[in-house]
Structure formats: C-alpha cells, structure tokens
Amino acid sequence: MGKASLPVLNRVQEVGCGVVALEPRASTSKPWHPLSQAPSPKTQDASPPKDGVLHYNPVCMIARLKGVLCSKSADRLIVDVQGVGYEVLIPFSTYYELGEAGDSADLLIYTHVREDTLSLYGFRTEKEKQLFLRLIQISGIGPKLGIAILSGLPVDDLIAAVAAADIVRLSSIPGVGKKTAERIALELKDRISALFPEFQPGTRLGITSSAQRDVISALVNLGYPKHKAETVVSRVLRKGEIDRFETLLKKSLQELSG
C-alpha cells in the first residue's frame, strides 16, 4: 500500500499574539522549498495604502518574538523562545530599551527572505517598525541600511528631519549620502502625517528630550550610574544647544572622563 499523500503547507497566517496558522495548498509536481513562495520585500504591497501603514502579505513567517534575552550587542541579539534561540538584528533605539541577559524580551519582527537567506529584524515599538518598512520600500535602501538609518538618529529626530526635508541632517547618518537623503525626503515627507498622526508639521516631537533620554540609556549601558549620567547630560545641554545624539554622547563622555 502506498503512503498517503500529505497536504503541502505554504501559507502562514497570523491569528493573534504571534501565533501563526498554516494553510494547505494544492499539490504540485514541482518540489517545494519553504522559502520558494516568499515574495520579494521590494514587491510586496508596492502601491501605498490609503492609511499610510504597510500591511505585508501574511506569508511573512514571524511577526513577533517574546522570550528570554540570551545575549545582545549593539546590532543584534539572541532571544530564547521556548528553547529555540533566534538571532535578531536591531537598531540602537531597540538596544537601549532592552534589559540584560536573562531579562524578558518582546520584539516586533520583520522577516526578510532573500534567495536562501532568512533574516529577522526586531523593534521595540510599532513606530520603529513602520518607519523601517517605509524606508526599505525606497530604491537603494535594503534592510541593513534601514537599520543603520534608525541607528543614526533617534526615531523622533528622524521623523522630524524627514518632515522638514532636512537633507543635511539625513545625510549626516553613516551610510546615507546626499542622493539617498533626497530620496528619503521626497518619498516620505508627505506620508509622515499618515504614518504618525501625533506629528504636526513645524513641531520637533521633543527632539532634545529624546536625544537626552537615549544618551542617558547609552551611558547606563556603559556602566555609569543613572543619576550620574543624568547629571552630566543635563550639564552638557546647559552649555549649548545640541540636537544630535552622537554629539551629545561624545561631549557627555568627555565630561565624565574629565
């Protein structure tokens, strides 16, 4: 007696809380590979939706990971989910918001499939993820550069720079040249209000307070007591207007070493 044929599964559908369900597809004579049906991230939902928020094809396999943080570095981490360790690439903003090894971690995930490679990109907030998804829809910007852009400026700073079409500020991000900065401003400027309703043109979304918070988190992660980090950062800010994360961090470290 021949073996009964089993249904072939190729569609992943999120059913809530990060749980996914697999749907069968019609059998085919062509051997199926788990990555063969994954659409290119550049072609998914190519036309901008009316609400300004990208809704990806449910074939994207992992949308969220919740587990225990095994290890982390500035650009990636490993999170244990019921005994399985997932390596996730992250921006600095997510790195600063996470605890240490052994702490719980809850991440929104973008699954990037390309040929035989599957990479996971993680974010602490929906704002970070939505901005990342918009960035990688721009010609010349892939997931790695998208993460670098999110790491180059705090999210609120980046939103304000895009809304103001601040090419100088955008091109100050490592890996972003003038032409790329111009494309970012051109393609995202008019969509900011749809993506982030709380943002109003002409406002800065608390850029200084955002940079201050991120620098304090960075100093604490470097081993400085939180109270001392807060005192030094406030002292540096009182000496002059500083609206860049990198500059504030550098001057704060100089103050601490002096």
Q: What CATH number is given to the structural domain containing 154?
A: 1.10.150.20
pLDDT at position 5: 44
Query: Which has the closest alpha carbon to 145: 170, 125, 109?
Result: 170
Same domain, 132 and 184: yes
As for how many domains the chain has, the answer is 2
Burial of 99 (0-12, 13-18, 19+ CB in 10 A): exposed
In a domain, 51, yes or no: no
Query: Among 170, 195, 220, which residue terminates a domain?
Result: 195
Query: Among 174, 195, 216, which residue terminates a domain?
Result: 195
25 strand-pairing partners: 8
Same domain, 245 and 191: no
CATH code where residue 214 lies: 1.10.8
CA distances from 251 to 5, 174, 226, 237, 257 (A): 66, 19, 17, 9, 10
pLDDT at position 30: 46
pLDDT at position 147: 95
In a domain, 218, yes or no: yes
pLDDT at position 23: 42
Q: What does the alpha-carbon distance between residue 86 and residue 202 come to, in Å, rounded to a whole number? A: 41
Question: How many CB atoms neighbour CB 202 within 10 A?
Answer: 8
Q: What does the alpha-carbon distance between residue 119 and residue 116 come to, in Å, rounded to a whole number? A: 10
pLDDT at position 8: 40
In a domain, 94, yes or no: no
Query: Among 195, 216, 241, which residue terminates a domain?
Result: 195
Q: Are 123 and 91 in contact (CB under 8 A)?
A: yes
Same domain, 241 and 215: yes
Q: Are 16 and 31 in contact (CB under 8 A)?
A: no
Query: Which has the closest alpha carbon to 74: 249, 255, 254?
Result: 249
Who's near 48: CB < 8 A, 6+ residues apart? 191
Q: Are 184 and 170 in contact (CB under 8 A)?
A: yes
What pLDDT tens digit does each residue of the chain (258 aa) get? 444 444 443 444 444 444 443 344 444 444 444 444 444 444 344 445 555 555 545 445 799 999 999 999 889 999 999 999 999 999 987 887 888 899 999 999 999 988 878 899 999 999 899 999 999 999 999 999 999 999 887 777 788 888 888 899 899 888 999 999 999 999 998 888 778 776 655 444 444 457 777 888 888 888 887 657 766 776 777 676 566 788 888 888 888 886
pLDDT at position 222: 87
Q: Tell me phi and psi for residue 10, to 5 degrees.
A: -145, 5
pLDDT at position 241: 59
Domain span holding position 249: 207-257
In a domain, 148, yes or no: yes
What 3-state DSSP class applies to 232? Answer: helix
Same domain, 191 and 216: no
Same domain, 130 and 191: yes
In a domain, 249, yes or no: yes
pLDDT at position 212: 77
